[in-house]
Amino acid sequence: MRIHVDKIGSVTRNLKLSRSLTLSDQFYIEPGSVIACRIHGEKSTYNQLEDPHGRLVTLHQGDLVVGALGHRNALHGYEGVMPTQLRVGDTLHMLNMGGVMGLCQSYNPDVGAPFRLEVLGQVMQFPEFQSRIGQPAHISMGALPLRDPSVRCPVVYIAGTCMNAGKTAACCAVIRNFSQRGLRIGGVKLTGVSLQRDILSMRDYGASEILDFTDAGIVCTSKDTAAATAKTLLTAMSEMDVDLIVAETGDGILGEYGVQSILSDPDLNRLSSAFILCANDPVGALGGIDTLQKQFGIKVDIVAGPVTDNRVGERFVESLQIPARNARSNPKALGDLVFNICYPTAQVAS
């Protein structure tokens, strides 16, 4: 069946799909499998889809959309799982703005119930020129192959206690500072659920190259995929001749996107030149520092995030003998400190 869709989610960007597609009624039920659906309902919040170019488009009743099967475990968003079987006409839910589709199990009141999706069919790809034999489309098509770690530049890791803890703001502050010194910086997001927004922000702040886990064919990271995917991304980024990599781990250090697998991996730990923890409050900062040290043997070099929004939180962090820097009020101070940690003897003009 041929179909002309209205909107395409950024989760499918590896495939470079056109809006005219061929659908099958036979489904390939795996994370990353690309399907077409019809939107049912209207929403006033969390009602947009990020397209493959990073543009946010509003979804409406009746829109024909393309996304990919996956799960999500977001404290401030949706919890959703993969379907175990699918037929044309079945109901799924839109789990994130990147176009991840699954079965919603629970949701945060701030985002409201998700859009309902009527399943239309499996998107087919025709990889050979003029071929009439299609293959079920999957976001691994055109993705980076898995790689062993071979990273030739410093890596700054930025992790957080939870979602919305200021991680991307800290990444952007560091990237801008270093890029203004004439360095080529790579921005990488290692974990989370597929969405380009954060890495596009890194580019806006001066990153020469950007990658995230979807570039490696992953819709939503987990404890089983996170470490191997991180090695692939960091190795690929290193080969782009960047001087330093700023790597954000999406969600929190104790979340369900596999951050703990990265923190406990010796190969990935050895790459670290600086480790920044972002926290919302003093309890989160204290707990995060303690957890990273005791469970993973990781020493936090800097604390950032909302806990440092004024001197109240900064004093608390400094009482723990760790520097506190705020990415919003004084991004230069944060970037300068990271630079001094990574290049203690460098003579690069600031």
Q: Which pLDDT tens digit goes with each residue over 283-303?
A: 999 999 999 999 999 999 999
Helix (H) or strand (E) holding 103: strand 100-107
Q: What is the pLDDT of residue 350?
A: 45
Regions in the chain scoring below 50 on pLDDT:
348-350
Supply the pLDDT for residue 132. 73
Per-residue pLDDT at 129 = 64
Token pair listed for 281: 């409050």
Q: What is the pLDDT of residue 348?
A: 46
Q: Tell me: the pLDDT tens digits for 190-232?
A: 999 999 999 999 999 999 999 999 999 999 999 999 999 999 9
- Give just the sign of the alpha carbon dihedral 296, 327, 183, 338: negative
DSSP tag of 243 = S
pLDDT at residue 151 in the model: 92
Domains of the chain are 2-136 (no CATH), 155-342 (3.40.50.300)
Q: Which residues pair with 193 in a beta bridge?
A: 220
274 neighbors 302 (Cβ within 8 angstroms): yes
By C-alpha distance, which of 201, 149, 167, 146 is closest to 284? 167
Least Cα distance to 307 among 328, 292, 321, 290 occurs for 328
Number of Cβ atoms within 10 Å of the Cβ of 138: 24
How many residues comprise the chain? 350
* pLDDT of res. 130: 64
Rounded Cα distance between 222 and 71, Å, is 10
Q: Which helix (H) or strand (E) holds 10?
A: none
